[in-house]
Amino acid sequence: MHIRDLADVIRLERRAFGREAWGWAGFLIGFAFGGVFLQAARGDKMLGFVLAQGRRATGETWILNIAVDPDQRNQGIGRTLMLAVEAEAATPRLRLTVRIDNAAARHLYRSLGYEELRLRRGYYGQGRDGMEMEKRITPYDSQQELPYE
Ligand SMILES: CC(C)(COP(=O)(O)OP(=O)(O)OC[C@H]1O[C@@H](n2cnc3c(N)ncnc32)[C@H](O)[C@@H]1OP(=O)(O)O)[C@@H](O)C(=O)NCCC(=O)NCCS
């Protein structure tokens, strides 16, 4: 992902999340801190993206945002993006939080080997709970340099 792709990211984010979409600030901060920021594309058209950040202190890479264009879902693009993050993550664990009523995302994460860790009540606002999930990556090379932080 390049900063020039950010307008496409914002457009896709709005299509995917509606009123709950991140604005520019969240993605600009994501760029500023570095991390794994990948897109799936066909030609010039962005089909999906994922943003993740590694935290050496806790040994976790957090998947902060992932979205696939509503017209392009259920073709394995989300799975491919998640596996691409996994391939680039330089921490022993991957973590994320997902809305408990987000059936498609929870199905995807479970099928990729993420386990449910804890319920986070009101994480997305009043009455909107989140589920924190984790995947342990093995084998993990602890000598590997973090390409970000
Ligand atoms: C979550 C998301 C990224 C998945 O992208 P995708 O490209 O459709 O993902 P994939 O095609 O790789 O996998 C989707 C899986 O969910 C399944 N699925 C789709 N709708 C479902 C539903 N309502 N209930 C249960 N499973 C569902 C599909 O069958 C598929 O599983 P399978 O491979 O075992 O058949 C996409 O739905 C999205 O952008 N959602 C809006 C943004 C969002 O919620 N992001 C995640 C925030 S934590």
- Domain range summary for the chain, segments of one domain joined by +: 3-136
- What is the distance in A from the centroid of ligand 1 to the CA of 7? 23
CA 30 centroid distance within chain? 12
Task: Specify the pLDDT at position 146.
Answer: 55
Q: Are 47 and 40 in contact (CB under 8 A)?
A: yes
Nearest residue to 112 via CA among 90, 129, 130, 96: 96
Nearest residue to 68 via CA among 88, 89, 39, 110: 39
- What is the distance in A from the centroid of ligand 1 to the CA of 70? 10
| Fold assignment, 3-136 | Aminopeptidase (3.40.630)
Return the best residue to mutate from 9, 42, 108 for the ligand 1 pocket (most ligand atoms within 8 A of CB). Answer: 108
Average the pLDDT over 67-86 and give the result: 98
CA distance 48 to 141: 29
- 145 pLDDT band (50/70/90 cuts)? low
**What is the value of pTM for the model shown?**
0.93
Task: Indicate which atom in ligand 1 lies nearest the CA of residue 99.
Answer: 48
Amino acid at 118: R
CA distance 107 to 34: 28
CA distance 111 to 88: 19
Task: Indicate which atom in ligand 1 lies nearest the CA of residue 97.
Answer: 48
DSSP reduced 3-state for 136: strand
Angle at 108 between CA 64 and CA 89, to 5 degrees: 45
20, pLDDT greater than 80: yes
Give CA torsion, residues 76, 112, 82, 45, to 10 deg. 10
Ligand 1: lining residues by beta carbon, under 6 Å: 16-17, 66-68, 73-79, 98, 102-105, 107-108, 111
Angle at 137 between CA 121 and CA 66, to 5 degrees: 50
Q: Are 49 and 3 in contact (CB under 8 A)?
A: no
Average the pLDDT over 110-128 and give the result: 97
- 139 pLDDT band (50/70/90 cuts)? low
Task: Specify the pLDDT at position 141.
Answer: 55
Average the pLDDT over 109-135 and give the result: 97
Atom 19 (ligand 1) nearest CA: 104
67, pLDDT greater than 90: yes
